[in-house]
Amino acid sequence: MPQPEAGPAVGASREPVLVTKGLSKSYRTGHIIQGRRPALQDLDLELHRGEILGYVGPNGSGKTTTLKLLTGLLRPDRGEATILGEPLASRAWRMRAGYLPENPYLYDYLTPAEYLDYVGRLFGLAREKRRERSRELLALVGLERSAGLPMRRFSKGMLQRAGLAQALVNDPELLFLDEPMSGLDPIGRRLVRDLIRGLRKAGKTVLFSTHILADAEALCDRVAVLRAGRLVKVGPLGELLRLDVTHMEVLASGVAAGTPGLEAAARIDAVGDRSRLEIDEHSLGRVVNAIEAAGGRVLGVQPVRRTLEDYFVEEMGGAVAGGSRREDRVGEWGEG
Amino acid sequence: MGRGLSRALAVAANTFRETVRERVLYNLVFFAILMTLAGLLLGQLSIRQDEKILKDIGLAAMDLFGVLIAVFIGTGLVSKEIERRSLYPLLAKPLSRSEFFLGKFAGLGFTLLVNLSVMLLGLLLTLGATGRRPDVGLLTAVYPLFLGLLLVVAFAMLFSTLTSSTLAAVLTVGVVVVGRFADVIRGMREVLPGVPQQLTKALFAVVPNFANFDFKSQVAYGEAVSAGILAWVTLYAAAWTLIVLGLGLASFRSRDFQ
């Protein structure tokens, strides 16, 4: 399981680069009898320079709506936001920000190099600078060998990486990433994770939405939790998860559920000759002795901490799927 | 050059590139074939007669291909971008919605200009190759035709900000058809007295008279189109295009992209 990165982000400060106050949005529903469905309600959020904030919540909780409001694709019903010291409606801050939409569709008749050149023109970059930037970014996202291919021949993962490259053309101070790991294979996910870590090292500020909790755990300084359009919790991961060890996990061979001395195990899952035992910290010595006394072998011992996924299942289970089984609810949260 | 203009030109250049890559200009091949066939078949007729027919066919083909491109590419210019969400990353950049919208219009306008210029050149070459005098006066028919096509694009873009690309295409074709028969609508009450006057008046007010852009027959017969008329047509086209484009822009600017 990925662990949160230790230590503060390089260049992290208390300087707010994004402040929202009471930001709200509702969508019209129905054609004949019209109503309104609230998508985001009274969002008060602060993002500080140099930090990575994970924006997490179930599908339909308002993550994408928030990012669309911040990037001007939607207009808020009420509330306000300041981005990089400028009001939301101003265009000036856009010169210093980048945005990756969810499942980006980039013009498939263009090559990634052409697309980046086009985006560079929108930022007013000179031709030589655009070329240089395009080369750098394609190398950064691992697409340098596909620079001349039309994007209609790209896989979903390649498109996602090209999308990330376009978000970085202007070397932004602030990045909005909507589900940046969506649709990526393990190698692609690793690449994007490393890229986001690199951005943090470079002092960039990142707000990224995800439903893959492992990604949020691996990357974020703080997490903002959204449910049904409302911000329910925001804070450092450690504070949110209370990073104490909840139990120990012992992997052993040559023992079974009935082995004397293993009654202390809260749960034993056997697969072939191997068993995985969940025990509390204080019973560790007793259980290890019992395994050895029964002729078994301890293959590994691992402390288990509360994960973000556990947090959701325990704190917000009702909102997730309405399912009662723990496995069902974990599954809803995706691939983490 | 202002930054806004520079961004709009970037959008226009990309729109032109899109139409080229999406093989929109393939219609030129059909035009070339049409001109070759017309030139060969009309060789049997008298010089005076076939020159007129050749010009007629050429100008009519320019008109038809131009309208098809203006309607079907024009309606997709904005609606396709919305449906595919390709404008999301762009509008989050310092590109304003106005720059995007006007850039798209300019891009397709340029495509139509290139298209018409190549077809005009093809017609002149066909005239020359079949022993007729290449008539530069054809320009006086092609120029108003181009203005009319720009107006069609403006309508297509307006409708595409309001509805799906299919319905937008239907509405745009409706405007073109009604606009081409505007004179008939004006005189409709004389033929069909039962038609309410308000209806014909309203139709006449909201649809431009596309017949004002049609000088094909006149030019084919070798009649000159005066500079005064061309200036009036330019003003007429500019006024209508600005109004329709302005409405489209207002609609596009007020949209939410859910």
A149 lies in the same domain as A32: yes
B10 touches chain A (CB under 8 A): yes
CA–CA separation, B20 vs B38, rounded Å?
Answer: 27
Residue A126 lies in a domain: yes
Q: What is the pLDDT of residue A243?
A: 59
A29 lies in the same domain as A165: yes
CA–CA separation, B230 vs B144, rounded Å?
Answer: 7
Instruction: Read off the pTM.
Output: 0.83
A234 lies in the same domain as A262: no
A106 touches chain B (CB under 8 A): yes
| Closest by CA position to B92, among listed A200, A44, A154, A169 | A169
CATH number of the domain to which A265 belongs? 3.30.70.980
Selecting from B6, B14, B91 the residue whose C-beta is nearest the C-beta of A73 gives B91
Average pLDDT by stretches of 10, chain A with 336 residues: 39 82 90 82 94 89 94 94 94 95 91 97 96 95 92 91 95 94 84 90 92 83 90 84 76 83 84 87 88 90 77 63 34 34
Nearest residue of B to residue A162, measured between CA atoms = B89
CA–CA separation, A151 vs A105, rounded Å?
Answer: 10
A98 lies in the same domain as A202: yes
Element at A113 (helix H, strand E): helix A112-122
| Closest by CA position to A220, among listed A198, A242, A197, A204 | A197
Q: What is the pLDDT of residue B1?
A: 59
A101 touches chain B (CB under 8 A): yes
Residue A322 lies in a domain: no
B115-131: per-residue pLDDT in tens?
Answer: 999 999 988 988 888 77
A88 lies in the same domain as A183: yes
What is the extent of the structural domain holding A286?
245-305
Selecting from B6, B17, B89 the residue whose C-beta is nearest the C-beta of A99 gives B89
A36 touches chain B (CB under 8 A): no
Binary contact (B94, A123; C-beta < 8 A): yes
A234 lies in the same domain as A259: no
A207 lies in the same domain as A133: yes
Tell me whether 0.95 is exceeded by the ipTM. no
Contacts of A170 in chain B (CB under 8 A): 93
Q: What is the pLDDT of residue A244?
A: 65
Selecting from A74, A105, A176 the residue whose C-beta is nearest the C-beta of B256 gives A74
Residue A177 lies in a domain: yes
| Closest by CA position to A301, among listed A319, A317, A316, A283 | A283
Q: Which amino acid is at B32?
A: A
Binary contact (A97, B92; C-beta < 8 A): yes
Residues 65..84 of B with a Cβ closer than 8 Å to A: which?
84
| Closest by CA position to A91, among listed B121, B213, B97 | B97
Among B11, B19, B111, B258, the residue to mutate for chain A (most A Cβ within 10 A):
B258
Q: Which residue blocks in chain A are alpha helix, DSSP H? A: 63-70, 112-122, 127-140, 156-167, 186-201, 213-219, 237-241, 284-293, 308-320, 326-332
What is the distance in angstroms between the Cα of A202 and the nearest Cα belonging to chain B? 21
CA–CA separation, A150 vs A38, rounded Å?
Answer: 40
Q: Is A322 exposed, middle or buried (0-12, 13-18, 19+ CB in 10 A)?
A: exposed
Residue A4 lies in a domain: no
Nearest residue of B to residue A107, measured between CA atoms = B86
Question: What total of structural domains would you count in chain A?
Answer: 2
A44 lies in the same domain as A184: yes
A97 touches chain B (CB under 8 A): yes
Instruction: In chain A, count H helices and then E strands.
Output: 10, 14
The residues pairing with A38 across neighbouring beta strands, listed in sequence order, are: A26
Q: Which amino acid is at A139?
A: A
Residues 6+ apart with CB under 8 A from A42: A22, A23, A24, A79, A230
Residue A9 lies in a domain: no
A170 lies in the same domain as A296: no
Angle of the A112-122 helix axis to the A156-167 helix axis, nearest 10: 30
A201 lies in the same domain as A255: no
A27 touches chain B (CB under 8 A): yes
Selecting from B3, B86, B256 the residue whose C-beta is nearest the C-beta of A107 gives B86
Residue A331 lies in a domain: no
Binary contact (B92, A99; C-beta < 8 A): yes
Q: Which amino acid is at B154?
A: A
| CB distance A274 to A256 below 8 Å | no
B3 touches chain A (CB under 8 A): yes
A94 lies in the same domain as A159: yes
A236 lies in the same domain as A250: no
* Domain termination residue (choose one: A216, A240, A264): A240
Residue A220 lies in a domain: yes
Q: Is A327 exposed, middle or buried (0-12, 13-18, 19+ CB in 10 A)?
A: exposed
Binary contact (B85, A104; C-beta < 8 A): yes
| CB distance B245 to B156 below 8 Å | no
B258 touches chain A (CB under 8 A): yes
CATH number of the domain to which A171 belongs? 3.40.50.300
Residues in chain B where the model's pLDDT stays below 70: 1, 40, 43-49, 189-195
Binary contact (B21, A109; C-beta < 8 A): yes
What is the distance in angstroms between the Cα of B202 and the nearest Cα belonging to chain A? 28
Pairing of strands A78-83, A86-87: antiparallel
CA angle (B144 as vertex; B138, B146 as ends), nearest 5: 95
Q: What is the pLDDT of residue B237?
A: 97
CA–CA separation, B56 vs A181, rounded Å?
Answer: 59
Q: What is the pLDDT of residue A332?
A: 34
- Encoded tokens for A228: 């049904």
Q: What is the pLDDT of residue A115?
A: 97
Residue A128 lies in a domain: yes
Q: What is the pLDDT of residue A326?
A: 35
